[in-house]
Chain A
Amino acid sequence: GDSVTQMEGPVTLSEEAFLTINCTYTATGYPSLFWYVQYPGEGLQLLLKATKADDKGSNKGFEATYRKETTSFHLEKGSVQVSDSAVYFCALIGTYKYIFGTGTRLKVLA
């Protein structure tokens, strides 16, 4: 069945460091791919998405490219801020439902 695998956290970085959170998927066909972010005490909100191969989603300095060859959708940011501290979820739309990864907690230190 469809699945999403993302790197385990927590990830701890200093402010202005480069961020990569890995995400790979298994799916039939070419599903839309998403990154959601959950700030402390809140629900999830969409960070970015890509709907077809080679698409790049971007928002708030974050980027992710839909790589069909490697079935990946890694999240990157060139310079993280303390305010980026949150839990990040990779997700796809499967045949009948959304599939979420287990989440990666990011902590950014000043």
Chain B
Amino acid sequence: DVKVTQSSRYLVKRTGEKVFLECVQDMDHENMFWYRQDPGLGLRLIYFSYDVKMKEKGDIPEGYSVSREKKERFSLILESASTNQTSMYLCASSSEWGEETQYFGPGTRLLVL
């Protein structure tokens, strides 16, 4: 069964802290994505990666960075967390562009105080 896992379901951090969100997929997918989900705004793409060590900015990359050292793992980094980064973060993966379905993890709800 296809699986995308995220390191934490809930996280509470202080303003200014460096935050790491981890995502792992077991489907040998090429593409991985990070979104944030906010009420009334739907899903907004932060970064995506189509290969190991490759990354592309999405719609809202400011304040975030990513790392993809291995095919199965895609990390989202908040360099200096701020209160406006309080949100639900969703990781997803897909095998290729075109018709392919995205598979999502359960999400990490991050609260920055």
Q: Which residues of B contact A (CB under 8 A)?
A: 4, 33, 35, 40-43, 45, 48, 56, 58, 90, 92, 97-107
Contact = CB atoms under 8 A, between A and B. Distances in A.
B104 to A, nearest CB: 4
B99 to A, nearest CB: 5
Given A89-B42, A89-B43, A98-B45, A43 B101 contact: no
Contacts, number: 51
A44 B97 contact: no
A81 interface: no
Interface string A50-63: 01000000000000
A44 B90 contact: yes
Interface residues of A, number: 20
B104 A44 contact: yes
A101 to B, nearest CB: 6
B48 A43 contact: no
A12 interface: no
Contacts of A96: 56, 97
Interface of A: 32, 34, 36, 41-46, 49, 51, 89, 93, 96-98, 100-103
Contacts of A34: 101
Contacts of B48: 97
Contacts of B35: 100
A102 B98 contact: no
A36 B101 CA distance: 10
Those 7 A-B pairs whose CB atoms lie nearest each other, nearest first: A43-B104, A102-B42, A100-B43, A44-B104, A32-B99, A46-B101, A43-B106
Given A43-B107, A97-B48, A103 B42 contact: yes
Contacts of B92: 43-44
Q: Which of A36, A42, A98 has the most CB of B within 10 A?
A: A98
Given A43-B90, A93-B100, 12 more contacts: A32-B98, A36-B102, A42-B106, A44-B43, A46-B103, A96-B97, A97-B33, A97-B48, A100-B42, A100-B43, A101-B42, A103-B43
A89 B101 CA distance: 13
